[in-house]
Structure 1
Amino acid sequence: MNEYQKFREQIDEFMQHHPQSPLDEAHRLYFRGLFYYEPSPAYLVMATVTRFSAREPLVEMETSTGDRRRYRRWGRAHFTIDGEAAALTIYANPYEEDFFLPFRDATSGKETYGAGRYLDSHRPGLRQLGEGEIGIDFNWCYNPYCAYNEGYSCPLPPRENWLAIPIRAGEKVFHSSSR
């Protein structure tokens, strides 16, 4: 079993049984696991990063419930995927170096959750490799909790993080019925 499969099994266990799961009781009853793309090395990219000034004002990101959350723009990651040049802005908690990468792509609303998916520094998908370089492994991208339960308030990826290309990696759209 590879590290992706092992982690995905742990997430499925959490979703079905943990008291902090975003799934309500009805969804837990029929839950048989989340849906994912097969992991592919094509979606592990090395990006060069242009850092933003630490003095840049915080940005407000709209959420799925219309609230706003404040983030610091940490850096702009430039990379190539499937032969296409792309760039995404990496955000950080205003007071820490917790990285957060919300994005939408050409699969959003079709194969994946319509509002977008996330990568962050709490999972292996986003790793700072050195000054000016970051590893992005889209195989780790996941749906926000609002994909499973509209009671959650989730940051929406800003327009600067909408990719025109498909990212067929990581978690797919949630279906409430079994596989």
Structure 2
Amino acid sequence: MRLVLLIGILLQMNTIIGQSYKDSVLEFQSHLNAEYQDSEKSPLEKSDVKKFKGHDFFPIDENFKVKAEFKRVDKAVPFLMKTTTDRLPTYEIYGVATFELNNQKLKLNIYQSHSLRDTEEYKDYLFLPFTDLTNGDETYVGGRFIDLEIPKEDFIIIDFNKAYNPYCAYSPKYSCPIPPKENDLPIHIYAGIKLKPHSK
């Protein structure tokens, strides 16, 4: 009887943890939708803001939240990251994340912006641009982004459920970083934001 009770408690705890995680992703999605519905912040054309009904997302799948080994790059060499325009912002590879997903060992470079690291608000901000096999079909052809923070441990959590599109997916007037070839994943990432937002 006691064992049955303990199993019941563990199942309840797992349900609560699962709900808590799902809620955190839903909160991210809600915040992103609110930003695009705000005519002062939205990258959408003003006529499109009125029609915007929210982004289309893949179903939340916790398997796409990975704990990656994180190795800081010593003496990183700054470089000019290519963008969709002539703008060439300065970045450096801050660290390398290694993880397993769908039975494949994968690696991604994680970058730090030189301009943002000099600001108090974004001094701990890290940038993860990536491409995968969904690009040009289910997702934006130019890849997707994930925002991260400098980890305090030797690992970093990468949650593909929180992948979002660059502004260039919605308007050509923006200048967006192009994910380096090193961050091209040879798998389908069925998580995060899809290509087209909902509209009327």
What is the Cα deviation at residue 51 of structure 1?
1.7
| CA shift for structure 1 position 127 | 6.8
Structure 1 residue aligned with 2:77: 57
* 1:1-179 correspondence runs (5 A): 2-53=23-74, 55-94=75-114, 95=117, 96-121=123-148, 128=151, 130=153, 132-175=154-197, 178=199
The two structures have a TM-score, normalised by structure 1, of: 0.89
Mapped to 2, the partners of 1:156 and 1:116 lie a distance apart of: 8
In structure 2, give the amino acid aligned to 1:142: Y
Structure with larger Rg:
2
- Per-residue CA deviations over 1:59-103 (Å, capped at 9, x if unaligned) read 211001132111011111000011111100000122433200000
- Measured on the aligned residues, the alpha-carbon RMSD in Å equals 1.8
Aligned pair count reads 172
Segments of 4+ in structure 1 off by > 6 A?
none
1:115-172 CA-partner distances (Å, limit 9, x unpaired): 0100113xxxx67251x21111111110011111111101010000011111111101
- TM-score of the aligned structures, taking structure 2 as reference length: 0.80
Greater displacement, 56-65 / 9-18:
9-18
Unmatched tracts of structure 2, length 5 or more: 1-21, 118-122
**Alignment gaps of 5+ in structure 1:** none
2:90 & 2:103 partners in 1: Cα distance? 34
> Which one has the bigger helix percentage?
2
Inter-CA distance 11–97: structure 2 relative to 1 (3 Å threshold): closer
